[in-house]
Chain A
């Protein structure tokens, strides 16, 4: 009897309890429930959206990309007129976003490195200035930075018809309409000079590679910097002269006298860097530089002081120690958080819309969306672009990170 009772318990009780308490069963139930919820939520959203769109008589699909945009854009990197299509608008906005992000990343990195190293300076004044810079910059919202540059700083510059501020004598000028610079006007045959520059760059890289290998093998150094400089300047210069100077600089023209309306810089002569671009670039790079400075400082501090001492005792001076010993090791700590800052800067460039710099969000998710009303397609495309940019930056930085990572056994 007892044995039969035991066996019954063995057969029944665990079987009943096991389904409810079985982690595998529970996990399957949880996942199925989540999947059902997501599918149901997605279905509801799609159903509601299509019903709403139908009611508001908004077309769907991507046909609008071929329609004429009919509005002008103040800064375009590719040919664009009011007759261009919305698809072209998208390209213009995308290129403007990429331009401001790339320049912003360069400037922010340079400034951030300077401030980060200054923060560790033994000079009290310099290190305090760097500290103050970081603490002030990163505790003020980026949008306020942009407004201050655009509405307060740049608006105080000379009016278009007044004497402009000279940045580089005879070359670059600044007034409330932005920076005016000469433009390179190329004539047929200029492509050879451009090709020569490309060839010089490739040659310099080859020389650098060869010299590094030779130094590793024999210890002999080769003046790479001078060679590269010579190549990059001389080769295009010789080609340029040999092909008969097929390019010229078109200088901005400033009219001082004559009818009032004609005074100021003549339109479409030379390059005009618009104030929206300048203020956005300055705000983005000075703001992000504060974060990069902290990252650089933490990275340098993460390198053991023994490394510096060992380097000094080998006879290296301060400069080579920093360049050859400390920075390469600090880079391993710096790169991952730096990637985050690059991503942030790229995403933050969308604040352009607040001061109407024609970036992707401003011209596409702003003007185009208002004109066509196709919110779903446009917002999804915009988000898709930023996701793609984020992923691309991550991939590049991860590749670089893997390249400089410490190789262990």
Chain B
């Protein structure tokens, strides 16, 4: 070719970079992504279109009902006139009822204090890197329940004593007298046993006495008259009851579950049989029958004259039920601890409880925190079942509010259910997200 050229041509030298051309439209950005992920083949395209249609058909009516067509302010007249959108003024008007149930209006500040102080203690406890965990745990699990109990019920528990009353002390002081006598007798017996058996029993005696004294102190605090008005549990309702049942259930079921799990893995045949039977029994029956049992059968078990409040009975049922599930969660954690850990602990001379408390359980419980959170979510959802035995949790109170004729309209129940669904979803979803977060944070031991 060049031979055909005329003269000596200056060879072409490119002295600047050609700016890179953008890839073809179909290979970049959203279009490329869509082509690759949504429309790569005919069947894929059909799937995508069906999926988009499904989403539209299912989600759009809810958006339309809940947001676009909804009545945001006004009275029931507006809702009735609208007739096909959510009636949010009803929820605003009933919000107090949804949160507190029939708790007296002037006393609701007490519930608020319980809610907010609980949050203030719980949030730092849940964030792994916040310090003072031990103090936080003592406040949250030791002091807070007592404060919450006194604030919610009004305290002033009717307690008395037998010997204390004979000594002329009444009410709380009578109990203090009784309790002191009991502590003194137990401490004396322990010391005497130590002397006979030739063992140093001073430290164990002090520990036992201190624990008993703390329990006594808690009862005394619950029995002091703080001048708060008594609020019967029959008046409690809404979110308050949901949270009380769920939180008491989980807090009570954790130690019980740990004991049952240890028992299930123990070598002692009678204890093992008992724990296996207990766990399998509660896991084999539905919660409803447990609640029925607590509401109709449990009163029959008690001696004549003793009555237990309905909420407390439900709490006992829920705690026993969830402790069986908790036991299985904890057992999973215990099984994940290699045998070397047990043997190592025994080799350095730790007793059974020292081995479990200092070596095995801390590792095992760390493994199963997500499982514990999951049982908490399950328990939180299951609290709705108490409406069947006539307690009004959040769903129960919303269901009850549909009987209110002043807010009657065609959208009354739809609005209520949508609201309930949003609240329950928000609680459960955030808990499950927390469980994922903690799983990632704590998964340090065997991460590669």
Contact = CB atoms under 8 A, between A and B. Distances in A.
Report if A and B associate in a common complex.
yes
Interface of A: 16-17, 20, 27, 30-31, 34-35, 38, 44-45, 48-49, 51-53, 55, 121-126, 129, 135-136, 138-144, 147-148, 151-152, 155, 347-348, 350-351, 353-354, 361, 365, 369, 375-376, 379, 382-383, 386-387, 390-391
Given A125-B38, A139-B425, A152-B414, A147 B296 contact: no
Contact of B296 (A20, A38, A369, A387): A369
B15 interface: no
B48 A141 contact: no
A348 B417 contact: no
B305 to A, nearest CB: 11
B302 interface: yes
B37 A122 contact: yes
A85 B434 CA distance: 52
B413 interface: yes
A359 to B, nearest CB: 10
Contact of B270 (A16, A35, A44, A49): A35
A121 B50 CA distance: 14
Contacts of B184: none
Pairs of residues from A and B, 10 with the lowest C-beta to C-beta distance, nearest first: A139-B428, A347-B286, A141-B381, A125-B51, A31-B270, A350-B286, A375-B296, A387-B284, A390-B284, A124-B37
Contact of A20 (B55, B199, B420): B199
B23 interface: no
A138 B52 CA distance: 22
A123 B297 contact: no
B288 interface: yes
A295 B369 CA distance: 20
Nearest to A146: B384
Contacts, number: 149
A20 B428 CA distance: 49
A48 B303 contact: yes
5 contacts: A27-B268, A45-B301, A140-B424, A143-B384, A348-B286
Given A121-B47, A126-B51, A365-B292, A16 B286 contact: no
Of the listed residues B51, B269, B414, the one surrounded by the most CB atoms of chain A closer than 10 A to its CB is: B51
Nearest to B197: A20
- What bracket does the count of chain B residues touching chain A fall in? 35 or more
Interface in B20-70: 37-38, 40, 44, 47-48, 51-52, 54-55
Interface of A is mostly: helix
A321 to B, nearest CB: 16
Contacts of A48: 300-304
Contacts of B48: 123, 125-126
A354 B388 contact: yes
Given A20-B199, A38-B274, A383-B285, A129 B51 contact: yes
Contacts of B198: 16-17
Contact of B286 (A20, A44, A124, A386): A386
A177 B283 CA distance: 36
Given A123-B51, A348-B286, 8 more contacts: A27-B267, A123-B48, A140-B381, A141-B381, A350-B289, A365-B292, A379-B289, A379-B293
Contact of A147 (B37, B283, B417): B417
Given A48-B302, A123-B47, A139 B429 contact: yes
B296 A49 contact: no
B297 A140 contact: no
Nearest to B428: A139
Interface of B: 37-38, 40, 44, 47-48, 51-52, 54-55, 197-199, 267-271, 274, 281, 283-289, 292-293, 296-297, 299-304, 377, 381-382, 384-385, 387-388, 395, 399, 413-414, 417, 420-421, 424-425, 428-429, 432
Contacts of A124: 37-38
B289 A139 contact: no
A30 B304 contact: no
A141 B395 contact: yes
Nearest to A46: B301
A271 B123 CA distance: 56
Contact of B289 (A45, A49, A126, A361): A361
Interface of B is mostly: helix
Contacts of A365: 288-289, 292
A135 B286 CA distance: 24
Contact of A379 (B47, B197, B297): B297
A144 B395 contact: yes
B271 A30 contact: yes
A13 to B, nearest CB: 9
A122 B432 CA distance: 25
B136 to A, nearest CB: 28
A339 to B, nearest CB: 12
A123 B38 contact: yes
A375 B197 contact: no
A152 B414 CA distance: 6
Nearest to B267: A27
A35 B277 CA distance: 13
Contacts of B300: 48-49, 52-53, 375-376
A236 to B, nearest CB: 36
Contacts of B55: 125, 129
B197 A16 contact: yes
Nearest to A365: B292
Nearest to B33: A124
A249 to B, nearest CB: 33
Given A124-B37, A125-B48, A144 B284 contact: no
Contacts of B286: 347-348, 350, 361, 386
A326 B55 CA distance: 29
A354 B395 CA distance: 12
B424 A141 contact: yes
A147 B425 contact: no
A124 B51 CA distance: 10
Contacts of B283: 390
A387 B285 contact: yes
B304 A51 contact: yes
Contacts of A138: 428
A207 to B, nearest CB: 32
Nearest to B43: A123
A140 B414 CA distance: 15
Contacts of B38: 123-125
Contacts of A34: 270-271, 274
Contacts of A391: 284
Contacts of B299: 52
A383 B288 contact: no
Contact of A347 (B52, B285, B301): B285
A135 B197 contact: no
Nearest to A45: B301
